[in-house]
Structure 1
Amino acid sequence: MSRDIPLNWFLYFAAASFSIGLMGVLLRRNAIAVLMAIEIMLNAANINLVAFWRYGIPAPDEGALTGVMMAIFVITVAAAEVAVGIGLILLCYRRWHSADVDRFDSLSR
């Protein structure tokens, strides 16, 4: 049976991943590293969605993949976020010759 690993292990792993991503967002100065840390946080949310779907009470139709569908939606939104984020970082790098997030505090310089 696929329920050999208890649900709380998935939740601990997701909490640890989210904490690592949050530390990366708060402590890193490079914009690319901040984007990667945000992706780690979104993946932690995906782990929670799929784990709760798998270990939760089954839906009446038994065919609903709600947790997986939500995870796919989050992955799609994350891909769009990274595409826009990288575009903005490239524009800022061309202007200020730096990917340091402290330099992006004003659009007038």
Structure 2
Amino acid sequence: MQSIPEIIRTIPLTNYIMLSSALFCIGILGVLTRRNAIIVFMAIELMLNAVNLLLAAFSSYYSDPSGQIFVFFIMAVAAAEVAVGLAIIVMIYRNIQSIDIGVLNKLKN
């Protein structure tokens, strides 16, 4: 049975690039078209995971562990971002009873 790095090397790198590009584009569409703040955060997380997938694929393909280290730090930053972002969304919901991004112009006053 093959180990995981050997299996990753047998799949062409272009497949990882296409999958990661598709996920990143879906994330961009989610950020640009949705008005719900939670869905926007999910789309941002999808974009970060697309970058993580590409970094891990390049790291494994070129046998360089630095890409996997970057993935670890990106996941740590993404976890912190989600914690802070959800706390902000909860506070916004408590103040204006909506998580619609279009309603956030009330916070300017």
TM-score with structure 1 setting the length = 0.89
Query: What's the counterpart of residue 45 of structure 2?
Result: 39
Runs of 4+ in 1 over 6 A off after TM superposition: none
Structure-2 residue corresponding to 1:62: none
Structure 1 position 108, deviation (Å): 3.9
Structure 2: gaps (5+ residues):
1-5
Identify the match of residue 16 of structure 1 among 14, 22, 41. Answer: 22
Q: Percent identity?
A: 46
Which structure dedicates a bigger proportion of its chain to helix?
A: 2
CA RMSD of aligned residues (A): 1.3
2:34 to 24, 28, 31: 28
Gaps of 5+ in 1: 60-64
1:6 counterpart = 2:12: yes
Note the alpha carbon deviations across 1:70-103, whole angstroms, 9 max, x for none: 0010000000000010000001001110010111
Q: State the alpha-carbon separation in 1 of the partners of residues 61 and 14 from structure 2.
A: 10
Q: TM-score, normalised by structure 2?
A: 0.89
| Number of residues of Structure 1 aligned to a counterpart in Structure 2 | 103
Distance in 1 (CA, whole Å) between partners of 2:18 and 2:66 is: 22
